[in-house]
Structure 1
């Protein structure tokens, strides 16, 4: 039984993400991280699916290709876990570090995604660029940070009564 390069990358990505989730996440903030994970997954499916349907990019090799046109591994597993890590790193930081880390995390993901686009069949840009990826990732990291700040405020404000 032989595996393609894409299948090996998918497996390694899933395992590395699981290891990050288990060993890098500070579970004292479990409630926050579940909220971030679910918010990010929902946001990615709401935004990611139309991007694929509008033929801006495509995922030729993906999990469950009969059911999903988008990369559910990235949108429902890898990116939400990375978003948890981003929110963990910025949890006690000010405005500028929040921006800096959003840019840093986005640059890292983009630096991995672009060679995958060039050399594999995991993703193909149609009307998309690495810069579009970088900008949308940055915006979604920041959106998750705004959402968790709002969530914490709401828990503190309404939970005290």
Structure 2
């Protein structure tokens, strides 16, 4: 299997995983608040990503490349899902716990980015 096909298969796996995760996290109380946070995050991601992809970057592998210049999977599914999970985890925490958890999430994302970029180099 070629590299491009592996990347597309990985994106499909992330899509399935995210949709499964969404079905679990949206069953919690305050569903209306979580849906609002999810959709607001997705809409702002699209707006910012359109600006960034127009002027600064391109995504070599993305879903629906003939339709979108943005990384639609990340903007609409992955990042809003992680944001809702983070908000649910820190909903009733104090500042110290919130900062600890943001570092927990941040370093995982940085680690995945480093692995991704080192694999492509």
TM-score with structure 2 setting the length = 0.85
Asked if structure 2 preserves the Cα contact closer than 8 Å seen for 1:25 and 1:85, the reply is: no
For structure 1, the residue ranges without an aligned partner over 5 or more in a row are 121-161
**What's the CA shift string for 1:9-32, capped at 9, x where partnerless?**
101111111222223455212011
Asked if structure 2 preserves the Cα contact closer than 8 Å seen for 1:45 and 1:75, the reply is: yes
Which SS does the other structure have where 2:61 is aligned? coil
**What's the CA shift string for 1:66-110, capped at 9, x where partnerless?**
221111101100110111100000011012222222222122122
CA distance in 1, matches of 2:117, 2:50: 18
Aligned to 1:149: none
Pairs aligned (count) = 120
Residue 60 of structure 1: how far off its partner (Å)? 0.9
Superposed CA RMSD in Å reads 2.2
Runs of 4+ aligned structure 1 residues displaced above 3 Å come to none
Look at both structures and tell me which one has the larger radius of gyration over its CA atoms.
Answer: 1
TM-score with structure 1 setting the length = 0.66
Matches within 5 A, 1:7-18: 7-18=8-19
